[in-house]
Amino acid sequence: DGKEWKVYGYPKLDKVVQEGKQPGIYEDRMSLMIDDGKVAGFAKQGCWLTCHEGERDMPGVASKEDAQKAIKKNDIRKFLPESRSNPSDWRTAKSPEEIAKIKAAGGFVDLIQWRAARSNPVGGVDDGYVLEFRNFDSGKNHFASNLDAEKKIPKFMFDAAKFGAKAVSAEQIRKKDNFLIRGVNAVAFDANAGWKEGDLLPRYVLGQAEGSAADNKGTGTWKDGAWTVVIARPLGLTNGDDKPLKDGGVYQVGFAAHDDNITTRGHYVSFVKTLGLGAKADIQAVKLP
């Protein structure tokens, strides 16, 4: 409105979009879950094992207050039944000590997410895992909020000398790459840069990941109305939040595609498949020369 910075655009399932108060804007995503046989039920249920009442856009969605009481988070996201004393009740989260023991024993599923807006522009792919929550791996992720929570203003804006303008407009969304990247086209936000109603800045600022969160790499190319996505993951990872892939191993995998400005529910999910690295499986990996 020219006076204060507000969020513009929400996922299509959000109430403000359903009521026509905001446009549906969200990134496309390609995700896969991986297990090595240590999570009970995943070989039969796949990704559905992590979906429960109380989660965002699910029946009985948890309030922020109730989620804080249960798991000290602002909402409930994917979790494994083993992380609850009563697998049918998200409120019955086990203690941090119990969760740590389950994790140490490999009782989690790896979650790899390619994101069209938050990882692809910097050649990255999220590395996370699902146990008591949908967690990111340790280290530094590819994206961070561009909002100064205390001042309620952006942290970064576009470098006009490199980007061609300090901001974008609603008309340029999907017509111009509007990714704000540290060290490439981002500079510290200047509140006196002559902002006007309709100026838009990305909600996230991007950069290179670090630590275990930086394990995966990837690229996505949009052509003829479809994405071609390539994800690269090293063999033999030894981090405590990764499922190591090894030559000769067989793994259970599930795929998901988030399309048409959708997050949480509403995305496409595959049945669980097996992946073999030099071993017989539904999907047999091929070693390139």
Per-residue pLDDT tens over the stretch 187-212: 999 999 999 999 999 999 999 999 99
**Residue 174: pLDDT band with limits 50, 70, 90:** confident
Nearest C-alpha neighbor of 277 from the set 253, 254, 241: 253
State how far the Cα of 72 lies from the Cα of 64, in Å rounded to an integer: 9
DSSP state, 13? T
Q: What is the pLDDT of residues 131-142, one digit of tens each?
A: 999 999 999 999
26-54 b/e (C-beta count within 10 Å ≥ 16 → b): bbbbbbbbbbbeebeebeebbbebbebeb
Specify the pLDDT at position 1: 63
- State which amino acid sits at residue 252: Q
CB 277 within 8 A of CB 245: yes
pTM above the 0.85 mark?
yes
Going along the chain from its start, the domains and CATH numbers come out as 23-137+213-285 (2.60.40), 143-207 (no CATH)
Residue 288 has pLDDT above 90, yes or no: no
Q: What is the pLDDT of residues 99-152, one digit of tens each?
A: 999 999 999 999 999 999 999 999 999 999 999 999 999 999 999 999 999 999
What is the pLDDT of the chain when averaged over all its residues? 95
